[in-house]
Structure 1
Amino acid sequence: MSVASASTEPVPHVVRGSAAYRRISFGLFLAGFATFSLIYCVQPLLPLLAANFEIGAAQSSLALSLTTGLLALAIFAAAAVSESLGRRELMFASIGLASLLNIAAAITPAWHAILVIRALEGLALGGVPAVAIAYLAEEIEPRGLGFAMGLYIAGTAFGGMAGRVMTGFLAEFFSWRFALGGIGAMGLVLALGFIALLPPSRHFTPKKGFDLAYHARAWASHFRDGGTRAFAKPMLFAIAFCAMGSFVTIYNYAGFRLMAPPFDLGPTQTGLIFTVYLFGIASSSLGGAAADRFGRAPMLIVSLVLMAAGVGLTLTPHLLGMIAGIAVLTGGFFAAHAVASGWVGRLGGASKGHAASLYMLAYYLGSSVAGSTGGWFWSEGAWPAVAGFTLVLITLAIGCAARLGMTRASG
């Protein structure tokens, strides 16, 4: 529950290096870890799901796309609900419920029932991403926000890596059902660690009741602010859609390519390749800190160009080229996400939660729409078609970032 100041003195923001800063950073690192391990634990299992249920690549990708698609919609509701319930409590409930649903998916026999559960899991997890960004923007002093946001994004990267690697290992030596259940159990433990670490909000007061008109005005305000802010935020939303869409598309269908000739890798070997997420853990923190020092637009452009270079490397016929390409793509993506999400928080004004929810809506719609669309490109033209599709998305994102760099919308 939020703690309002009992005096007329303003409550100071949390400064970098303090004990509270460390608790917040590590608590939200755990939240990001849990959220992304639960979302993406199915990604290395897509070829196994396709074989087990006798379905195609695009159909198997629904186990992820439905989660991210419903997550995108739930973020809107979560941002509004958190205005009444509080940031910290909603994030804890979201992680706990999603973990239980992941365990339920592991023991459900029917494919369509699994899809329903995974969709519900996306709804549950809507209470974390946008709320986490809003919490950081409200509680951390502006000079330390970029680094704190980078640490949160690092948690999402580490969770995404662990979810992929662990499920690949557990699926090969036990079963894909055991793998899903194990990730769900881990999520419950992480939820308890999160609630024990994260301090209550000090710069947020819950609003009584639910005022739909208020929330509608708050969302609309981010498209009609005066000056360059109204231009900057939609550009950042478009970048989120294109960058996340291209990133998830590569990861969705990389497993299909790696398990087929000429590579013929198994689930564990394929999962281990995704340890390149370590590049995302490092680049998210470095990207956020570099944006604080050198400017957001230049760092955003550099990060997106790295993504394009990574996709190009995956077109080589050699395994090392594929691994190097995924590593470069991952580093570029997480740096771009750290910069863009921190920028949205700075531009959010009095309704940071609503600005963050719009950013995350675009982010996860990109994951859902592009992630499934990539299945058509895989079926029609294999990996070159998938790479071409993602390069188009990244090029659009670079164009938006370059346009932002020509303005003074620095926040």
Structure 2
Amino acid sequence: MNEASRDGTGLARGTPGARRALVALFAAGFATFSSLYSVQALMPLFSQTFGVSPAESSLSLSLTTGVLALTLFVAGLMSEAIDRKRMMAASLLISAGLSIAAAFSPGWHALLAARALEGIALGGVPALAMAYLSEEMRAGDLGFAMGLYIGGSAFGGMSGRVLAGVVADIGGWRASMAVIGGLGLFCAAVFILLLPPSRHFRARRGLALSEHFEPIARHLRHPALPWLFACGFILMGAFVTVYNYIGYRLAAPPFGLSQSAIGAIFVVYLLGIAASALFGRLADRYGRAPVLVAALSVMSLGLLLMLPASLPFIVAGIALVTVGFFAGHSVASGWVGPLAGAGKGQAAGLYLLAYYLGSSIVGALGGVVWSRYGWPGVAAMVGTLTALGMLATIRLALWQGRG
């Protein structure tokens, strides 16, 4: 149990210290996810510049998220022995520097190397930001603080895509990545200047491996949790695949949209952010399994709307896929803790590992499908995934009913 929750001495909402912490962590979440997802708007340009296929171009994101998945998991295991502020500050500075380095890459493989290293650097922020908040914020204000951090992360994911597309139209993809890196450095400076040092964290040295791996083994043997991890894999894999390759479709005839116009469509992300809270309340009222199935159904409906060569239908479809993804992720991630019981941190780490591996593996596979079968093939692949997600959710509901 953390000190802030136990003795009421944590940062209270509305105080100068809490305001500084919240602004700092909003900036950290914004920088992390704007850098991570900005390349989605640039993938068609990578194909043109380096002569690589869509599947190869998607490695600019898939490599980063794949490495990030492993880094998040390891950082979560090490979190009890790591100074929060120093590690997060180092992550932000290094990842921003790598974004700028990627902008000056002499070739495709150098760019991929920079992006892979960025995945390592970025893992320090999500793994420790939530731990910092849970330790330093007063218990009654923790939900608000966590929501603001997640809001900064989601807003960063949207802004990175939109800004990258606009700048790329003006100055090319190199300028775009350099601007994202510069923005990351600014956010790192804000973070370092504003975040109060940890008052309730005491590093623990010499933790036995069994203290980490026994709960992990127990979670993997759990009759329900692996199905929930599969839902995380499916949700993120389906969402990233749609966002990775819709830019290729919209840049080609009959649409021929500019990078700025394609990036502007990602503003529908805001609908997804709002949907998270709405579907969370619906899950409290009607149960998690029905609402998770509903979220996956919304994603499937969005895929159907995107099949015709109609821009209004495609934009509406992207909106529904986004709403369904955020809704499903909010329900699934919120289900992990209640199912896990003890060892919630390790269970959350396994969920995030599956979540980002879905982005990496399915996102890359979608490029192969796009190259061979075009958008109908991508829609069929993602639709199959959402159907599997529904089956996994039904399996969870049956297990819970027996329990």
With normalisation by structure 1, the TM-score equals: 0.87
Cα distance, 1:92–1:405 mapped onto 2, change above 3 Å: farther
Cα distance, 1:100–1:380 mapped onto 2, change above 3 Å: same
Q: CA deviation at 1:126?
A: 1.5
Greater per-residue helix proportion: 2
Query: What is the 5 A alignment of 1:8-407?
Result: 10-12=6-8, 19=15, 27-135=24-132, 149-195=146-192, 205-209=202-206, 211-224=208-221, 230-407=222-399
Cα distance, 1:45–1:212 mapped onto 2, change above 3 Å: same
Percent of aligned pairs with the same amino acid: 51
Distance in 2 separating the partners of 1:146 and 1:337: 17
Distance in 2 separating the partners of 1:312 and 1:91: 41
Q: CA deviation at 1:57?
A: 0.9
Cα distance, 1:25–1:328 mapped onto 2, change above 3 Å: farther
Q: Secondary structure at the match of 1:162?
A: helix
Q: CA deviation at 1:22?
A: 6.5
Residue of structure 2 equivalent to 1:227: none
Cα distance, 1:80–1:27 mapped onto 2, change above 3 Å: same
Q: Is the 8 A contact 2:8 2:139 kept in 1?
A: no
Which amino acid counterpart does residue 91 of structure 1 have in structure 2?
M
Q: CA deviation at 1:220?
A: 1.9
Q: Is the 8 A contact 2:232 2:351 kept in 1?
A: yes
Q: Is the 8 A contact 2:13 2:141 kept in 1?
A: no
Which amino acid counterpart does residue 81 of structure 2 have in structure 1?
S
Give the aligned length.
Answer: 401
Distance in 2 separating the partners of 1:254 and 1:151: 29
Distance in 2 separating the partners of 1:43 and 1:337: 20
Cα distance, 1:396–1:66 mapped onto 2, change above 3 Å: same
Distance in 2 separating the partners of 1:141 and 1:84: 22
Which amino acid counterpart does residue 45 of structure 1 have in structure 2?
L
Cα distance, 1:170–1:201 mapped onto 2, change above 3 Å: same
Q: Which moved more, 1:15-24 or 1:262-271?
A: 15-24
Distance in 2 separating the partners of 1:301 and 1:24: 36
Distance in 2 separating the partners of 1:162 and 1:111: 25
Cα distance, 1:153–1:391 mapped onto 2, change above 3 Å: farther
Q: Is the 8 A contact 1:155 1:281 kept in 2?
A: no
Cα distance, 1:295–1:302 mapped onto 2, change above 3 Å: same
Q: CA deviation at 1:394?
A: 1.1
Cα distance, 1:195–1:313 mapped onto 2, change above 3 Å: farther
Q: Is the 8 A contact 1:34 1:95 kept in 2?
A: yes
Distance in 1 separating the partners of 2:205 and 2:72: 20
Cα deviation, 1:345-369, whole Å, max 9, x if unaligned, reads 4555553332222111101110010
Q: Secondary structure at the match of 2:114?
A: helix
Q: CA deviation at 1:74?
A: 1.1
